[in-house]
Amino acid sequence: MTPTISLSDLDFQSGDVDIQRAAEAFKTHGAIVVRGLLGAYIAALHSDIKAAVRQSLALLHRASAIPEGWRTPNNTLFIPAPDHYERDRQIMVLGINYHTSAAFSRSAFHPPTLDIVEAILGPNIELYGTGQCLYKEPVGGHPKHLHQDSAYFEHRYEGPVGVLTYVVPTDLDNGALHVVPGSHKLGQLDHIDTFSHLGLDDGEWPWERALAIPGQPGDAIFFHVKTVHGSKQNHSDKPRPVFIHRYRRADDYVVIRGTTTKNRAESAKHLATEKKESQHSIMVRGFRPYNGT
């Protein structure tokens, strides 16, 4: 599937978004980008991201080994660094979230963002997760193989809408997000274990199948949980952080979770035991009626 869709099919301008048209484009292509949408939060978030990086590096000697790499006490995930790198480990997921950064949590409640999410998911929406910051260190910072997020958290219903926002100018040189338009309609695909955890076989899913989305700080990419996406290495001399909010219908919940083929297969055995009641999160739109028995 070579992309026949071009960036202009997915592109919207903050302040001038036709919400229904944006929601339709999302449903058709599985991704849209809204330029400048979260620009007001970038300065404060970037400052908190830099503080979290300093803290993570200072705590690296206290990191413990986990199946995905190493985790510092402030919850930053490190993975092996390239051979020529100044350290043997590099940051992959930075330990910053709604519990540690007010700018991060404020930005999750941004009304124009929620207006678009509501047009996609309907009136009753909760946050999924506590926010995520994917980081690529300079000079080789890790590639993230093409994958579906549903390989990591498959949901009972529609699944979360991810909103990934650039913090620095992001292009082909430093790790722009790539998406495969329409791939959210392919169902759950089989993933394999890769350097960047669960990913698609790159023989079957080469980067040429995907559309790159270069952008500026504040540009927000909305993507479906089953949209195939990923990003290449950061070849620039500066870090490339992004931050992600995830929103889901208030009745939706995870049925299978994993980070490796082994732990995902184990989780799939317990499919029937997953329940919404133990997965309630903060509501951002609408109301959750009591539905206990």
Ligand X SMILES: O=C(O)CCC(=O)C(=O)O
Nearer to ligand X, 3 or 175 (CB): 175
Q: How many residues bind ligand X (CB under 6 A)?
A: 10
Q: Interface residues for ligand X in 243-282 (CB under 6 A)?
A: 244
Q: Which stretch binds ligand X (CB under 6 A): 32-40, 42-50, 100-108, 227-235?
A: 227-235
- Among the listed ranges 22-30, 42-50, 123-131, 229-237, the one in contact with ligand X (CB under 6 A) is 229-237
CA dist 3 and 242 (Å) reads 24
Q: What are the two backbone dihedrals, phi and then psi, of residue 94, each rounded to the nearest 5 degrees?
A: -80, 140
Q: Running DSSP on this structure, what letter comes out for residue 124? A: -
Query: Does residue 167 belong to the site contacting ligand X (CB under 6 A)?
Result: no
Q: For residue 198, what are the CA distances in angstroms to 16, 48, 75, 223, 288? A: 37, 28, 20, 18, 33
Q: Does 177 bind ligand X (CB under 6 A)?
A: yes
Give Cα separations from 183 to 59, 67, 229 (angstroms): 39, 28, 9
Shortest distance, position 259 Cβ to ligand X, whole Å: 12
Task: List the one residue out of 129, 115, 146 whose CA is nearest residue 246.
Answer: 129
Question: Quick check: 121 binds ligand X (CB under 6 A)?
Answer: no
159 vs 175, beta carbon nearer ligand X: 175
Give the orientation angle of helix 19-29 with respect to helix 111-121, to 10 degrees: 50
Among 71, 89, 110, 144, binds ligand X (CB under 6 A): 144
149 binds ligand X (CB under 6 A): yes
Residues near ligand X (CB under 6 A) are 134, 144, 149, 175, 177, 229-231, 242, 244
